[in-house]
């Protein structure tokens, strides 16, 4: 029987030292088997030291001679070739991130079935609905529930208010004598009653997008306000959320 020969530059001690440093259990076991070969053990004894048969040991010797110690690490399968090119995947990621246009796409959120049709129409590639979900996950998306958003909410107005609030507060207090006590109250209102649930949609991982919620139910509204400095709070239940209800809530806060 032809003996096994290892590439030059590695003694049994060198291979055992590499095995001790390795964080891959399988690589360490194979290095110990090759160390037995370097020390002159029989093929059966060296294979037994690595918990393998003689033919497997011979195969690993050939891998070691060709690629060195790194050749003893299991190679990860590359898997099937992606059906979409890198450019197509980048385009799809932008489309999903931007969300659908209801007038053009006919939907308010992307479903896997919708995206499967879009991929077929845009890239002429067939994708099963389940495969679309896996594709989206590989692109960095997760299936999350969206945060509710009122249909009339305008993000630009919200951001503008954040920027102008300090100046508006200063204008409000302009002309007030320095020694005048000022109470700063924080007020918000909440709807009480039946609400429609928010469905799940695809969004980049780590984000939670907003989604328009239905407003088709009769509800009551709780107006609440707190003054942290005075440790005081008030609440008022109203049938509607409008300017009149807001004025009554403010009057209740002042009376407290």
Rounded to an integer, what distance in angstroms lies between the CA atom of residue 195 and that of residue 211? 14
How do the domains of the chain map onto residue ranges?
A: 12-72, 86-139, 180-255
Predicted confidence (pLDDT) at residue 216 exceeds the cutoff of 70? no
Q: What is the pLDDT of residue 246?
A: 86
Q: What is the pLDDT, as a whole number, of residue 89?
A: 94
d(CA 24, CA 13): 18
Q: How far apart are CA 144 and CA 199, in angstroms?
A: 8
- 206 neighbors 231 (Cβ within 8 angstroms): no
Average pLDDT over residues 176-199: 81
The conformation of residue 178, written as its DSSP 8-state character, comes to T
Decide: helix, strand or coil at residue 170.
Answer: helix
Q: What is the pLDDT of residue 59?
A: 92
Rounded Cα–Cα distance for residues 209 and 146 (Å): 5
Mean pLDDT of the region 43-61:
91
Per the model's pLDDT, the better-predicted residue between 134 and 152 turns out to be 134
Nearest to 34 by CA among 153, 180, 14: 14
| Average per-residue pLDDT for the chain | 87
Question: What distance in Å separates the CA atoms of residue 16 and residue 11, rounded to the nearest whole number?
Answer: 9
pLDDT recorded at residue 214:
62
Report the SS3 class of residue 150: coil
Q: What is the pTM of this model?
A: 0.43
- Whether 1 has a pLDDT exceeding 50, the answer reads no
Q: Kindly tell me if the per-residue pLDDT of 198 is higher than 70.
A: no
- pLDDT band, residue 184 (cuts 50/70/90): confident
Which whole-number Å values give the CA distances from 184 to 163, 167, 187, 233, in the listed order? 19, 15, 10, 12
- Poorest-confidence range of 63-72, 76-85, 177-186, 211-220? 211-220
Give residue 197's pLDDT.
Answer: 66
Range from 40-54, 125-139, 207-221 carrying the lowest mean pLDDT = 207-221
The SS3 of residue 203 is strand
11 pLDDT above the threshold of 80: yes
Q: How confident is the model at residue 60 (pLDDT cuts 50, 70, 90)?
A: very high
DSSP string, 201-233: EEEETT---EEE----S--EEEEEEEETTTTEE
Can you tell me the mean pLDDT for 221-234? 90
């Amino acid at each position: 029987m032809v003996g096994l020969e290892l590439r030059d530059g590695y003694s049994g001690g060198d291979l055992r030292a590499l095995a001790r440093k390795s964080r891959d259990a399988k690589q360490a076991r194979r290095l110990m088997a090759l160390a037995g070969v370097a020390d002159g053990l029989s093929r059966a004894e060296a294979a037994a030291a690595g918990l393998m048969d003689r033919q497997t040991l011979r195969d690993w010797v050939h891998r070691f001679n060709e690629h060195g110690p790194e050749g003893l690490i299991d190679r990860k399968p590359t898997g099937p070739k992606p059906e979409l090119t890198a450019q197509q995947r980048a385009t799809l990621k932008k489309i999903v991130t931007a969300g659908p246009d209801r007038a053009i796409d006919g939907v308010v959120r992307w479903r896997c079935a919708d995206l499967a049709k879009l991929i077929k129409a845009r890239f002429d590639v067939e994708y099963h609905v389940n495969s679309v979900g896996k594709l989206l996950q590989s692109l960095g998306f997760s299936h999350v529930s969206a945060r509710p958003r009122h249909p009339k909410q305008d993000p630009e107005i919200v951001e503008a208010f954040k920027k102008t609030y300090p100046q508006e507060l200063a204008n409000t207090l302009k002309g007030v004598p320095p020694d005048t006590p000022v109470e700063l109250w924080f007020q918000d209102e909440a709807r009480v009653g039946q609400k429609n649930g928010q469905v799940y949609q695809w969004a980049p991982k780590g984000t939670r997008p907003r989604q328009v919620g239905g407003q088709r139910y009769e509800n009551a509204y709780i107006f609440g306000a707190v003054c942290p400095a005075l440790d005081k709070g008030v609440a008022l239940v109203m049938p509607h959320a409008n300017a009149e209800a807001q004025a009554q809530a403010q009057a209740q806060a002042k009376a407290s």
